[in-house]
Amino acid sequence: MIKKGVTNNKPILEVKRLAKGSELPEYMLESDVGLDLKANEDITLTPMEQKAVRTGIAIKIPEGYVGLIRDRAGIVGKMNVHTSAGTFDSAYRGEVSVFLVNFGDDEVEIERGMRIAQLIIMPIAKVSVKEVKTLENTKRGSKGFGSTGIKEKLKLLKGL
């Protein structure tokens, strides 16, 4: 039985071009988890500036899935530019924009056609919310960032 919105056991991401020359998202390699999203405009990001970069596309995420915008390693490593937000549910039909932040010390040029982020499509699980008086205790408990050994590893690295 074939489910609506699924082909060859793969969910279908419907994409509409909103601007001439806009590029469809694509996996660069068969093994990639994320579809590359490309800028549909030229912009300049000054240090510590955040801007929404238009992609020129609208998408229809299959029902029961979510689209998550994530960093591309190349743009982070080479330009110190990160994505700052991005969750698309199946009801959204507006233009996909990617919020980029320049954490570097220099201006960064984003050029039309540049791969700026990746879109990861994942199934979602809806939960019921239940208020309780207590929660089961665990070994970690309420220990936050660094509680699983990162502080010790950082100390070792600094000592090298």
Domain residue extents for the chain: 13-125
Give the pLDDT score at 134: 93
Give the pLDDT score at 2: 44
User: Both tokens of residue 45?
Assistant: 């990001």
Contact at 8 Å (CB) between 110 and 100?
yes
User: Both tokens of residue 29?
Assistant: 């390699």
Task: Find all residues with CB under 8 Å of 99, minimum gap 6, and list them.
Answer: 50, 51, 52, 53, 83, 84, 85, 86
- Tracing tokens 């660069």 back to the chain, one arrives at 28
Three-point CA angle 67, 28, 40, nearest 5° = 65
Give the pLDDT score at 1: 40
Other beta carbons less than 10 A from residue 81's beta carbon: 22
Mean pLDDT in order along the chain per 10 residues (160 residues) = 60 95 94 95 97 97 95 90 91 95 95 96 95 90 68 64
- Tracing tokens 């970690």 back to the chain, one arrives at 140
User: Both tokens of residue 11?
Assistant: 């969910």
Query: What is the pTM (predicted TM-score) of this model?
Result: 0.79
- Which class is domain 13-125? mainly beta
- The half-sphere exposure of 142 on its side-chain side, counting CA atoms within 13 A, is 2
Q: CA 147 to CA 129: how far, in whole Å?
A: 27
Give the pLDDT score at 159: 64
Give the pLDDT score at 5: 58
Give the pLDDT score at 27: 95
- CB-neighbour burial class of residue 50 (10 A; exposed 0-12, middle 13-18, buried 19+): middle
